Amino acid sequence: MSENTQKLWGGRFTGETDPLMHLYNASLPYDWKMYKADLEGTRAYTSGLNKLGLITPEELVKIHYGLGEIKKEWDENKFVRHPNDEDIHTANERRLGEIIGRDIAGKVHTGRSRNDQVVTDMRIFCRDTVNEKLLPGLKELVNVMVKRAEKEINYLMPGYTHLQRAQPIRWSHWLSSYATYFTEDLKRLKELLERFNQSPLGAGALAGHPYGIDREYLARELGFQGVIGNSLVAVSDRDFVVELMFWGTLFMNHISRFAEDMIIYSTAEFGFIKLNDAYSTGSSLMPQKKNADSLELLRGKSGRVFGDLAGFLMSLKGVPSTYDKDMQEDKESLFDCLTTAEHSILIATGVISTLSVNSENMVNALTVDMLATDLADYLVRKGVPFRETHRISGECVAKAENLNLSGIDKLPLEQYKSIDSRFEADLFDTFNFEKSVERRDAIGGTAKSAILKQLSSLQSQI
């Protein structure tokens, strides 16, 4: 049998394909990942053809048996690829013919195009990846962060703006902040799943199905929540690919910021945390080095995922309706994005669950000048307008600096009174880091009660 007659599209062509063109056109090296989805789609589709009387019950039994055998071969890494298997659809149909005979296998594509077949496979693959890997992984990541925050809620540390010490916070408050980001990522992914879990199967090449197949039946069989109502859109829509890669880009942005904080906190200059050896590497030259490579890779791979999204958007932007071969560029970038996100979740979970915290270094990094806002708040409670107290507190900081004092808590009471007569001896109660964080007990604040509410809310959302 010639090369062309083995291809799903070969009947029109008599000449041989340029070998380079075959390689350029082939997608099996990466779309084999969708083998399970492709077999599931064919199982449901042939059941639909059976309902129409286009496949007999006896033929359907043989087809489903063959599909099961092919799945076993893929599962056990025993599937033998043929040089002319240009994609997963061709490979599976070719193998089905070898198992049950080409006459019966040749019926499975009746009324179906690779245009609706491939996008059906992709939607199933994406749904399974989200349900089986990304959502459980995100839940575990948030859960690990919440449990750690509950256990280490007494640890105080500096909070930063502009990478400058700003106000005291709890380590648990920092953990809760990123757990919140990742919980929003989880919720966003669930919403996206509802949108893209729609069936394109039965739309044909672009104009619909010639035999009146029950598309709602196909959707139910494959676990889709509905049917895409326009056949042109069904085969050409790749918005779900873009949205998934946008999700991946935003998630990796959060992971990158998380990693950057952790890299800083793990340096000798900070010494707040120490990574487990399982997530660190050494230097080939300097034996004393312990590098936070896991975190640096998390930070670096965010750019890779952004590139996946940007690259596919550029490929998609000029594609006319409906299906065009440009759309084959969706898979490598999408698969890379999903795999990178999945692995990043696992690495981040490993890092945060195994690191050690130096709470002494954290609290030693707190400085009294970080309580300047608390000093302003002291006067606010005496009825002084905040804008005025802000200026007064700044003058106190400047006075302490001019006197070469180690902090504003060392400024004598008479100096305070010389700046503003409303200062009393009780102002020195302000200079307490624990009391500072506990004063902020409104929703979202640093007090234990506020943090525990945050953690409880996050737990309920996952």
Active site residue ranges: 162, 283
Evaluate whether 107 touches 55 at the Cβ level (below 8 Å). yes
What is the distance in angstroms between the CA of the first residue and the CA of the last residue of the chain? Answer: 55
- Three-state SS annotation for the chain: CCHHHHCCCHHHCCCCCCHHHHHHHCCHHHHHHHHHHHHHHHHHHHHHHHHCCCCCHHHHHHHHHHHHHHHHHHHCCCCCCCCCCCCHHHHHHHHHHHHHCHHHHCCCCCCCCHHHHHHHHHHHHHHHHHHHHHHHHHHHHHHHHHHHHHHCCCCEEEEEECCEEEEEEEHHHHHHHHHHHHHHHHHHHHHHHHHHCCECCCCCCCCCCCCCCCHHHHHHHCCCCCECCCHHHHHHCCHHHHHHHHHHHHHHHHHHHHHHHHHHHHCCCCCCEECCHHHCECCCCCCCCCECHHHHHHHHHHHHHHHHHHHHHHHHCCCCCCCCHHHHHHHHHHHHHHHHHHHHHHHHHHHHHHCEECHHHHHHCCCHHHHHHHHHHHHHCCCCCHHHHHHHHHHHHHHHHHCCCCCHHHCCHHHHHHHCCCCCHHHHHHCCHHHHHHHCCCCCCCCHHHHHHHHHHHHHHC
Spatial distance between the Cα atoms of 451 and 174, rounded to a whole number of angstroms: 10
Directed axis angle between helix 239-266 and helix 171-196, to 10°?
Answer: 170
User: Parallel, antiparallel, or unpaired for β 273-274 and 356-357?
Assistant: antiparallel
Computed on alpha carbons and rounded to an integer, the radius of gyration of the chain in Å comes to 31
Helix 35-51 / helix 114-129 crossing angle, nearest 10 deg: 120
